Structure 1
Amino acid sequence: MAFGQMYYTSCRRGLSGAPGFQFHAVSPGLGPDVLRDAEALTSYQPPRALTLTPSAENIRRAPVNLCFRPGPVALLSNVVYVGTDYSRRPGNYFAHTLVSRDPGADLGPVLPIELWRAPFWACEEIDGTELPELAGPPPAGAIDRAEVAAFLSGHPGVRHLPALLTAADETVRTHRRKVVIVGADSDEVARWIATLSYLLPPPTAARMSFATYDGDPRYSRMDVIGSTGDAGLDLGADELTAYHLFDFAADRVSDVAVHPLARILAELEPAVSDAAWSRVTRIAAGDEQSLDDWLPVVAAALMTWPSGPESARDEPAAVAAWLARHGERLEPGTVREVGRAVLALLASENGEDCLRALHDLGAAATGCGSAELLEAAEVRTVDVVAATVRADGLTSAPELSLTSARARARAEQWLAADLPGLPATVIGTLAGWAGSAGLSLDEEALERAGERIVGPAVLHAPGDGPLRDALARNAPLRTGVARYLESVGPDELDRIVRALGEGLAELLGPQMSSAGPWTRRAAVVAEVRAGRRDPVDGLAAVLDTAEGPGEALLGLLFGDRPWTLDQARRILALLGKEGTEAPAVARRIEDTVLAEGDEEGVEAYARFCLGLRPTGLYPRLGGPARTRIDLMAELSGWIDRLAEARKEHSGPLTEFRKWTAKHDAAEQRLIEAVLAARFDDFYASVRARLLVDLPGVRHSYCAGLSKSLSRRTIDFEIAATALLTLAAVARMNPAPPVRAAVAELDAVLRRSVGRWNGRTQQRLLEVLALDARPASVTWIDRWMRQQPPGILGRMRGLFGAGRGADESAGAGRRGL
């Protein structure tokens, strides 16, 4: 254990062979790299005032730079101002540097800063250029722990010590912002650096480079740099943000977010800090780097130490989390001791943070095999959960499973007493926790909680996760909820339907099979809304035939939409005579009548209306609905009369047109649509006359025909009827209305039948030949073959200029 030594100053004789600043003497074996590093490290710029008047007093007052650079080759230098050099030029300094490749062994128990003003430091030249090695450990100087403690006790800047500790740790770890300490003199700076060396974690202090004085810290590479108030320090306009500045002379300090561990260390007496860090090191893992890493270790080691600072007891949660991670590594006695201290500190705490700490404490107890500590943590967990629930509720379940009999009994007793009066979300959370913890809960208390609290809550928020989880795990709770649903069924049927449809029915499970009638009715409606059951079948399942369905039930099953014709027919058959007396049924049937049909078509609509007229429901319908039914009945009579007309159809058609004209436009459109749908009931001559005389009928018929003939499956009967109708219209005197009728019907047939292939058209001719007269078949054949020369030309080409005779005698209703 020995240090290499170097002297550096401005002298006549040295290693350079010429006068000037140079290494005056060095120990053997020190290479040029070490010399260059030492020269750069020890550069010294005295305060300007001292160089102007280099008196003996000024030289004595000049700041001393004790600087330390750790590393594989550690350098420890003491630089003093000596005034003038051999040529009487001012500004000379003398640097005595120690070199160590194992500073820990060479220094022994002495810290680098404790060599401040040590007696072995040289400041004068010697004869010769070779220095012996200095045996270690070297004698300490003027600083020790007691001296620093006395310094801190009377210094007003001690209030900034937590910030200084935080800043120094950050700088040593990141090297981003240097710490600059400005004191009245370098002795004060040395004591602040000693404070850091005593209080910071020893590995951090060992890595901390420092200089007790630098005339221009901007160019220093040290972590902690000292200066004096008379040095004319200039760090730039952003000195408080570019550096961690602690100017104790002017009371200017950078803003630093103080770390909790720094507060603990700042309370630590330097006189006992060595003993404190010995306690900490014994339980440390050895991989701690930052203050975050050290915080729980220091708090754990010092919270049970009589000399430990009070603030070490402010971090029970951090200590508990650390114990959970290291419980298996630590001595069981240490875990028990620290764990009991943490429990004592948590005795007056409640809330989520306390629960997390207790969970960690339980993990630590499990890791070290301490059943006593585990039981105490679990019992305390039950008490904290109970207190938290009573005060603020609970947002998440405790993560601690209860294994000790004492803790389980305590939890079961508390839950039995409090559960029925807690908020629903809390009940759900606690019931889930109790289930996962394997606790036996009082079934009667759970049923009461389900009926009084959980039932109303799940009805208004059926998607609540904790409530659903609790119901899934707890049959008595489900029983209580089912009981509540049945009790409010008459008033809350809609809400019950929504909740059941959102998964509550599946959650209740077996309880649904024994549910009351209102709950079962809501379940059926929920299935209807989900599309799993036909609405009419749903009505049949829940119908009370003695009363008939009310508007609320019908609204739940069918919504606001009118019944379709199929639904209306099925419902009337289901209800029978008594059921149709319900006012809600009459209103729904009115809506269906006034809706004028659905996808079944107007023909089915007309038949439905006719079917209502002889029933007892008809008189109870409103005036508009009865008027519509009467219209369909009258129209049915006209259709029957027109269907019987053949040659003598002009009279009935004239009367029909007069009857139609009496109705408003909406009714006329309905009449025309029904006529078009019943077109096949008439003879061809009647069909032709209707198309010419009633454009609305023609438009409706052609629109329906276009849809029918555009389907993938060919309907030869429809096509044949349309072609025979076209032939009948074409035979009429070609007045403008006739030409318009031919043009519209011909265009529809050309777009469909006219584009069929030859085989399909031949098949159509064969169908026509079975019923139509040969002349008609020949006409249609020619129509299929010819190129369209225009409607009027086609009419004259086929039949000549005259109208011809009616050839429909002897043919069926479809043919000519």
Structure 2
Amino acid sequence: MAWQLHYTSVAAGPTGRAGFQFVAETPGLPPGVRSRVAPLLAYRPPPNAPLAPTNQEISCFPVALTYDLLGSHRVLTRCVYLGRDYSGRYGNFLGHALVVSPDELTGLRPVELWEAPFWKDSPDAALPGLTEIVPGAATDPESLGEWLALQGDGGYARLGFLLETTVRSLTGGHGRLVLVAGDVEEIVRWITVISYSLPWTVALGLSFTTYSADPATASQTIVGTTPDVWLPSDLDAEVVDLTGPVTGSGTGRLARTVVDCWRRMDMAALDGMAELGRTDPEAAAALVALCDGDPTVTRAEQLDVARLLGAGLPARVWRALEGAADRMEYELAAAASATGPPETADRYAARCVALALRNPELPLPAVRLRAAARQALEPRVRAALGEAANLTGLADVTRLITEAGLAVPGHDLERGAAALVRAGAADFPRAVGRMPYDLRGRLVAGVLAGLETASARVRARLLTDEVCDLLAPADLARAPRTGAAVVHSLVRRDALGRIDATDRLVRLAPEPGRDTVLREIWAGPPTAAECGALAERLGASVGVSPVLTELPGRAFRAEGPKKETTALARLVTARMPVRSAELVVAVAEITDAPRPRDLAGPLERLLDAGETVTPDLRGAVAKAVLGVLDARGPEFLAKVVMTASRRAAAWLVDLWLRRVRSREEQARLLEVAIRLRMNGAASERLDAWARESPLGSMRSRFARDPELLRGYEELVRPRAALWERVRPRPPWKRE
């Protein structure tokens, strides 16, 4: 129940004395209330008011409706000027006080009691307690909204400034707002708009008076007065002339949001702030602004909103807040995920994940994302992979993606790694250790692609031995430049044998650097065993590089026509078209041929293969063939020449003539020439050589074989006959 009191000047009050006194009160008034209410019951007319006003003039005097806190109670006083008192003196007024508990004002702003029906303009003898407090009809929000709209932008700007000043006074505990207007109704409207703009609990703590003739001493937060009242220069208050231009600026979040709500006449939003902002109006205003799509809500304001969520939100606010998920900072999104409705928790969790993708140091939410949320994050995932500052950052982002239960697009991961490497990122060894194990292959593939397309300078700087070791297990086939450098590093450090290194290099696409590395690998003499192993491993692939096709011939030159070399040659020719190996096989067939005619084919193949090999290999083959034929007799050799092709025969004769040095070699070759003539297959070159060489002493060599002796004499006779013609005959033979 609310208690009422009347205070005025009478000739004889309840105590029998004259003057200003309480003349009526509700029975049961708590002790001490009367004395605490008395200082609020005062009234002085405006300075410019008539000293002896008429009743009509008195009706225009401002009404002073005052609201203040009175310990555990709240008090409203309404003072109206009455004019003369019982003695005929001017200055009398009626002070009507209403003492209530805060609960009795639930849902009501105190200013709503302006023109409430229970107020009296003359004293009553008895004042019953009020069980229901009915507000006045002139302060409804809709009417005020229309009135504000008529004020235009200036009115909204003034509201923002007045509200900001009021909130600063309430939160700071000092400073007041003095509203100056000739019409008290103007002051009441502004106080009412301010009250509606604040949560009910805050408005309940907002003291005010609609009129005071001495604002300097008034204790209320908002004080109304008239233009003719003197205001000291050191007044600790913000003075606003409501009839003048709008002044003041720098409104806060609450003021700006409230003004926007009044502009839109969004009373639901105002009610929402009133409901949410009982302890922190600024946070409530930030929450409303966030729900309305205001992009200016700062991170600090969102932190305040996050704390506000802990107190719980109505379902309609959660529904509105869901649309702001994509604008939330991490702390607010995490708070919403933890405290919001289960059906929308993953929407806020998805926002946390999206922010963590920009900053992997942020923790992931505990909420598991559903399919729709994961799908919505796919663009953000791809963007995050492309935004990493280095390979370590890329690995951290990838790890976060997997921990969030999202799919990592492998192609985007590779593209991101390649771009970073091309730009010079040198942290691959650190990054590969931080990358999820099952995605390290994708990282390596991207690094290889980046190295392959990077400048030579960047590639040389990044391909350290450590990096090469990490890249070695990868498939280097599509990165020949990089692959050649990796293999070279491994071989240089004896981490890879020549056979394995060659195998890896052959699998690379053609690239100049590959042959350079192969040439360096095989700089030392190859063995027959190595060439055999290479043939077994690579087969026809050996033909991709001239460096490799030369290996069998180099082994032959180094080791000669040994059993191992011949076996190698047979293996190589069975697996790959290598001319040097064909030469070795031909030499082996010549060596093993049992009959002269069996040499014809190998000699022909030897000459065919010899056309495409190096001169030193041809020399080695010729030496080997001579060595093989030296073991055969002249009769065998002559038959070889007769059964061979003209080209092969000419080649053999040329070899013999260029090699012949000793008397034994001359004798063997002479016998070959003789046997060729005897068989009707004389060699002009051999015959010419025999006639031009001093071979006369060779006659005794053929003495035991009449047929060879006759052939010898026929071969050398033309030269002897010529000698007889020019040599002087002895005297005993002259005629």
CA deviations on 1:390-412 (whole Å, 9 max, x unpaired) are xxxx5667866773345546766
Counterpart-to-counterpart distance in 1, 2:281 and 2:107: 24
The equivalences for 1:115-134 within 5 A come to: 115-125=113-123, 131-134=126-129
Corresponding residue number in structure 1 for 2:138: 143
TM-score relative to the length of structure 2: 0.53
Which deviates further from its counterpart, 170-179 or 62-71? 170-179
TM-score relative to the length of structure 1: 0.48
Counterpart-to-counterpart distance in 1, 2:29 and 2:242: 39
Counterpart-to-counterpart distance in 1, 2:264 and 2:382: 56
Contact 2:43 2:213 in 1 (8 A): yes
1:264 to 257, 262, 267: 257
Contact 1:8 1:23 in 2 (8 A): yes
Counterpart-to-counterpart distance in 2, 1:463 and 1:233: 78
Corresponding residue number in structure 2 for 1:83: 83
Corresponding residue number in structure 1 for 2:320: 338
Correspondence 1:34 to 2:24: no
Corresponding residue number in structure 1 for 2:540: none
Corresponding residue number in structure 2 for 1:152: 148
Post-superposition offset of 1:211:
0.7
1:368 to 341, 347, 367: 341
SS in 1 for 2:8: strand
| Structure 1 residue identity aligned to 2:77 | S
Counterpart-to-counterpart distance in 2, 1:184 and 1:75: 26
Post-superposition offset of 1:185:
1.7
Which is higher, the Rg of structure 1 or of structure 2? 2
Corresponding residue number in structure 2 for 1:161: 159
Percentage of matched positions with identical amino acids: 24
Counterpart-to-counterpart distance in 2, 1:495 and 1:522: 17
Post-superposition offset of 1:95:
1.1
Q: Structure 2: 5+ residue runs without aligned partners?
A: 475-484, 495-519, 524-735
Post-superposition offset of 1:89:
3.7
Corresponding residue number in structure 1 for 2:526: none
Post-superposition offset of 1:194:
1.7
Corresponding residue number in structure 1 for 2:614: none
Contact 2:420 2:450 in 1 (8 A): no
Corresponding residue number in structure 1 for 2:47: 48
Counterpart-to-counterpart distance in 2, 1:258 and 1:522: 72
Q: Structure 1: 5+ residue runs without aligned partners?
A: 304-309, 347-352, 525-543, 548-816
| Structure 2 residue identity aligned to 1:289 | T
The alpha-carbon distance between structure 1 residues 436 and 521, as it changes in their structure 2 partners (threshold 3 A), is farther
1:475 to 425, 437, 440: 440
The equivalences for 1:597-636 within 5 A come to: none
Paired positions, count: 479
SS in 2 for 1:74: strand
Contact 2:78 2:119 in 1 (8 A): yes
SS in 2 for 1:37: helix
Post-superposition offset of 1:453:
1.9
Counterpart-to-counterpart distance in 2, 1:37 and 1:465: 76
Correspondence 1:93 to 2:87: no
Corresponding residue number in structure 2 for 1:236: 233
| Structure 2 residue identity aligned to 1:215 | A
Counterpart-to-counterpart distance in 1, 2:138 and 2:473: 87
Post-superposition offset of 1:322:
5.0
Corresponding residue number in structure 1 for 2:62: 63
Counterpart-to-counterpart distance in 1, 2:217 and 2:493: 82
The alpha-carbon distance between structure 1 residues 186 and 362, as it changes in their structure 2 partners (threshold 3 A), is closer
The alpha-carbon distance between structure 1 residues 433 and 522, as it changes in their structure 2 partners (threshold 3 A), is farther
Counterpart-to-counterpart distance in 2, 1:369 and 1:408: 17
Post-superposition offset of 1:65:
0.5
Post-superposition offset of 1:523:
11
Counterpart-to-counterpart distance in 2, 1:464 and 1:325: 46
Corresponding residue number in structure 2 for 1:771: none
Post-superposition offset of 1:212:
0.5
The alpha-carbon distance between structure 1 residues 218 and 472, as it changes in their structure 2 partners (threshold 3 A), is farther
Corresponding residue number in structure 2 for 1:295: 285
Counterpart-to-counterpart distance in 1, 2:4 and 2:110: 15
CA deviations on 1:745-774 (whole Å, 9 max, x unpaired) are xxxxxxxxxxxxxxxxxxxxxxxxxxxxxx
1:246 to 240, 248, 258: 240
The equivalences for 1:149-548 within 5 A come to: 149-155=145-151, 157-230=155-228, 232-237=229-234, 242-251=236-245, 253-255=247-249, 257-268=250-261, 284=276, 288-295=278-285, 298=288, 326=309, 334=316, 337-342=319-324, 346=326, 353=327, 356=330, 359-360=333-334, 363=337, 367-370=340-343, 374=346, 378=350, 403-408=369-374, 424=390, 427=394, 430-441=397-408, 446-447=413-414, 449-454=416-421, 456-459=423-426, 475-476=440-441, 477-478=443-444, 480-481=446-447, 491=457, 510-511=470-471, 516=486
SS in 2 for 1:249: coil
The equivalences for 1:576-595 within 5 A come to: none
Corresponding residue number in structure 2 for 1:7: 6
Contact 1:16 1:22 in 2 (8 A): no
Counterpart-to-counterpart distance in 1, 2:150 and 2:227: 19
Counterpart-to-counterpart distance in 2, 1:472 and 1:280: 50
Counterpart-to-counterpart distance in 1, 2:383 and 2:359: 20
CA deviations on 1:63-119 (whole Å, 9 max, x unpaired) are 11001113412211111122343444433332111222x2533x5766432332345
Contact 1:359 1:400 in 2 (8 A): no
Contact 1:489 1:496 in 2 (8 A): no
Post-superposition offset of 1:276:
5.4
Post-superposition offset of 1:120:
3.7
Counterpart-to-counterpart distance in 1, 2:401 and 2:39: 69
Counterpart-to-counterpart distance in 1, 2:238 and 2:394: 53
Contact 2:109 2:203 in 1 (8 A): no
The alpha-carbon distance between structure 1 residues 281 and 181, as it changes in their structure 2 partners (threshold 3 A), is closer
CA deviations on 1:228-278 (whole Å, 9 max, x unpaired) are 223x241425x5xx42333212336444x3233333333445998776566
| Structure 2 residue identity aligned to 1:247 | D
SS in 2 for 1:75: strand
Contact 1:28 1:131 in 2 (8 A): no
Contact 1:12 1:18 in 2 (8 A): yes
Counterpart-to-counterpart distance in 2, 1:311 and 1:545: 68
The alpha-carbon distance between structure 1 residues 479 and 368, as it changes in their structure 2 partners (threshold 3 A), is same
Counterpart-to-counterpart distance in 2, 1:292 and 1:91: 44
Contact 1:189 1:226 in 2 (8 A): yes
Post-superposition offset of 1:16:
6.6
Post-superposition offset of 1:424:
4.0
